[in-house]
Amino acid sequence: MSPARGGAPEGSGADVEKAAMTAGIEQGGRGTWRHAAFHVATTIATPAAYAPLPFALASLGWPLGVCSLVIGTLMTWCSSLVIASLWQWNGDNHTSYRHLAESIFGPWGYWYVSFFQQVASVGNNIAIQIAAGSSLKAVYNHYHTADDGAMTLQQFIILFGAFELLLSQLPDIHSLRWVNAICTASTIGFAGTAIGVTLYDGHRIDRKEVTYSLQGSTASKIFRAFNALGTIAFSFGDAMLPEIQSSLREPVRMNMYKGVSTAYSIIVMSYWTLAFSGYWAFGSGVQPYILSSLTVPRWTIVMANLFAVIQITGCFQIYCRPTFAQFEQRIQGKDTSYKTRLWRLMYTSAYMVVITLISAAMPFFGDFVSICGAVGFTPLDFVLPALAFLKAGKLPENPGLRSAAKVISSTVAVLFSIVGALACIGAVRAIALDVKTYKFFHDM
């Protein structure tokens, strides 16, 4: 692969990484558009992403909540197509988001994406691990009703972390294709089960007791609204599109377009239906993790939690890969020697220990979802695609349309930069309040 134009000088750390990265990202372009759909759906449409959506709507109210959800869907779908269209914009194949940004914007683009991608990846996996532990504990509580000797949330988080460490030994994204196919099926299973139980519970509840008014003081309403914007940004987060695209066969662009659009058809059906039905059923009292609001029938709640854990498994793995790639640039990517496998076990173990420790110490699911969406996904999924389109996209030749495209793209970049900042403020405030309320390693 030739060096990206406008990138870092030859011999820089970025160029060394580009030459070395093979094991964690690219495997010769063998995937089809169906594999792309599996990967994108697994990365975006996770229970950790859309289970908090009813709570986000409850923090915004019907009009603003519905508008925010629809705008988030349309914006991220268009942004995904923009990133996919830049696959070979200057004649080079860009196998990671970092190198695509470096090729378009120069060295600052590389480090911009590197920072925010790591924030998104780590924050997403902390939220995922908390959600997985919560779902496993819910299944356990269904069968174990005695208080003595009951397992805690932290123990389930550790068990999930151990399983993810095992999957982390798989070499690349393409090797996860069948895992992610199962995860995509689990996405549909989770959405169908959760929506069905939500509607069932909603009809059982006395509708006169359900309120949709915003709760708390004026300041609390404002900060909760900021927090909700971060949650919605998180729910559509996908900071891995070029990495997924690099695993596809020719025609790469068309396969990615079809894969993204197929994944978004699943996302729209599941996200919108669960968000609207969850808010309708429980109103302002809906929990940050929708499964915590469900009561009966209990066997279907167990099934929804199991679907959630299966789906989350694949998403966690995809978001590990940018971090793993930072380590893999230091070793021989395709060398299958004992030493290389030992190094992989060491750095994947270190990663899992850190993620598991944070998840167990501060199991505040909704807060991590919001701050990850605000700080990690908003810059990568809303702001950067708009700037990339301005600089490298194919703008219309018609002067009027060209000017309109520039104004819209600039407005999107500025508006979502503000949204990200406000959401970050709301998320930090929520974490500060929770830390005061709960002790570390609290069994939620």
Q: What is the pLDDT of residues 163-181, one digit of tens each?
A: 999 888 887 777 777 887 8
- Decide: 233 and 377 in contact? Cβ < 8 Å: yes
- 11 is a domain residue: no
Question: Is this model's pTM higher than 0.85 or not?
Answer: no
pLDDT at 309 over 70: yes
Which of 12-21, 95-104, 223-232, 362-371 comes out lowest in average pLDDT?
12-21
Which of 88-92, 265-269, 292-296 comes out lowest in average pLDDT?
88-92
Closest CA to 233 of 316, 127, 109: 127
Q: Which pLDDT belongs to residue 148?
A: 60
- 406 is a domain residue: yes
- 306 is a domain residue: yes
* Mean pLDDT calculated for residue range 439-444: 71
Q: Which amino acid is at 38?
A: F
- 20 is a domain residue: no
- 317 is a domain residue: yes
Count CA within 13 A, CB hemisphere, residue 194. Answer: 36
Q: Which pLDDT belongs to residue 367?
A: 72
Strand partners, 248: 31
Residue 285 belongs to a domain with what CATH number?
1.20.1740.10
d(CA 106, CA 217): 46
3-state DSSP assignment of residue 31:
strand
Condensed to tens digits (0 to 9), the pLDDT of residues 310-351 reads 888 888 888 888 788 777 776 654 455 677 778 888 888 999
- 186 is a domain residue: yes
Provide the percentage of residues in the chain whose pLDDT is more than 90: 22
- Residue 416 is inside which H or E element, if any? helix 399-437
3-state DSSP assignment of residue 248:
strand
- 13 is a domain residue: no
Query: What is the residue range of 275's domain?
Result: 30-326+335-437
Q: Which pLDDT belongs to residue 278?
A: 93
Q: Which pLDDT belongs to residue 242?
A: 87
Q: Which pLDDT belongs to residue 411?
A: 93
Which of 137-151, 264-278, 282-296, 383-397 comes out lowest in average pLDDT?
137-151
- 444 is a domain residue: no
d(CA 190, CA 261): 20
Task: Share the mean pLDDT of the chain.
Answer: 82
- Overall domain count for the chain: 1
* Mean pLDDT calculated for residue range 37-51: 81
Structure tokens at 97: 């988001």
